[in-house]
C-alpha cells in the first residue's frame, strides 16, 4: 500500500489547491463542482471518492488554509517573550495575512455560512482563536471570567479591521487604530 496511497494523496492535494483558488476567486456558491472537475481533469466519481461532497471539499480547503495561517503567525511570534508584545505581533501578522483574498473570502466571509456557525467556531478554536486566547490570557490584563468572551470580541474586532484593510482601506491607519484599540483593552 504505497504507490496507490501516494497517488490518492497527490490527487487530493491537486484538487485541494484548485478548489482553494476557485473558492477564493468566486466564492463557495459560484464555484461549481463541475469546474473543479474540469480544471483538475478528474472525473465525478473520483472526486466524490475522495471528498464526500461540495461542503466536505470546502471544509478540507478551510482546514488547510487555517493550518497554514496558524503556522505563519506562530513564526511571527516566535522568540518574543513579553506576552503583550507577542499578542501585538500576532495580531499585526494576522492583519497582514488577511490581505490575501483567499483568506478573506474563504475564512472570513464564506466559512460561517457554509459550515454553520458552531462548526466554524469549533475550527477557529483550534487555530487563530486558540492562539489569541492563550496570548491574551498570558498578558494577565483581562479578568479570568471575561477571558473567553474578550478573546472572542478581540478576534472579531481584528478580523473586521483586516477585512477593511483588504477592501481598500489604508493599511498604516488600520494598524495604528488596532494598536490603539489593543492598548486601551490591555490597560488595567
Partner DNA sequence: CAGATTACAAACCGACTGTCGGTCTATGAA
Partner DNA sequence: TTCATAGACCGACAGTCGGTTTGTAATCTG
Residues that bind a copy of itself (CB under 8 A): 27-29, 104, 109-110, 112-114, 116-118, 121, 143, 145-146, 149-150, 152-161, 163-164, 167, 169, 173-174, 176-178, 180-181, 184-185, 187
Q: How far apart are CA 23 and CA 181, in angstroms?
A: 32
Q: Which residues, at least 6 apart from 132, have a Cβ–Cβ distance to it below 8 Å?
A: 87, 90, 91, 151, 154, 155, 158
Tell me how far, at minimum, the Cβ of 27 lies from a copy of itself, in Å. Answer: 7
Tell me how far, at minimum, the Cβ of 146 lies from a copy of itself, in Å. Answer: 4
Query: For residue 171, how many other CB atoms are within 10 A of its CB?
Result: 13
Q: 27 vs 1, 31, 64, 73, 104, CA distance in Å? A: 37, 6, 17, 25, 10
Q: State the binding string over 8-47 for DNA (x if CB under 7 A, else -).
A: x--x-------------------xxxxx-----xxxxxx-
Q: Would you tell me which residues interact with DNA (CB under 7 A)? A: 1-5, 7-8, 11, 31-35, 41-46, 48-50, 53-55
Amino acid at each position: 500500500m504505497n504507490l496507490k496511497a501516494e497517488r490518492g494523496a497527490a490527487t487530493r492535494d491537486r484538487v485541494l489547491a484548485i478548489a482553494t483558488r476557485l473558492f477564493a476567486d468566486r466564492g463557495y456558491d459560484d464555484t461549481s463542482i463541475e469546474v473543479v472537475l474540469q480544471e483538475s481533469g478528474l472525473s465525478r466519481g473520483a472526486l466524490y471518492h475522495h471528498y464526500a461532497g461540495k461542503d466536505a471539499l470546502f471544509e478540507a480547503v478551510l482546514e488547510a488554509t487555517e493550518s497554514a495561517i496558524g503556522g505563519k503567525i506562530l513564526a511571527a511570534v516566535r522568540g518574543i517573550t513579553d506576552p503583550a508584545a507577542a499578542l501585538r505581533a500576532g495580531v499585526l501578522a494576522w492583519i497582514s495575512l488577511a490581505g490575501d483574498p483567499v483568506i478573506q473570502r474563504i475564512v472570513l466571509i464564506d466559512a460561517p455560512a457554509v459550515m454553520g456557525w458552531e462548526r466554524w467556531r469549533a475550527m477557529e478554536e483550534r487555530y487563530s482563536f486558540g492562539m489569541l486566547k492563550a496570548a491574551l490570557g498570558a498578558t494577565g490584563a483581562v479578568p479570568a471570567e471575561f477571558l473567553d468572551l474578550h478573546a472572542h470580541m478581540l478576534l472579531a474586532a481584528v478580523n473586521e479591521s483586516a477585512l477593511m484593510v483588504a477592501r481598500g482601506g489604508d493599511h498604516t491607519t488600520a494598524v495604528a487604530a488596532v494598536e490603539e484599540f489593543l492598548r486601551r483593552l490591555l490597560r488595567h
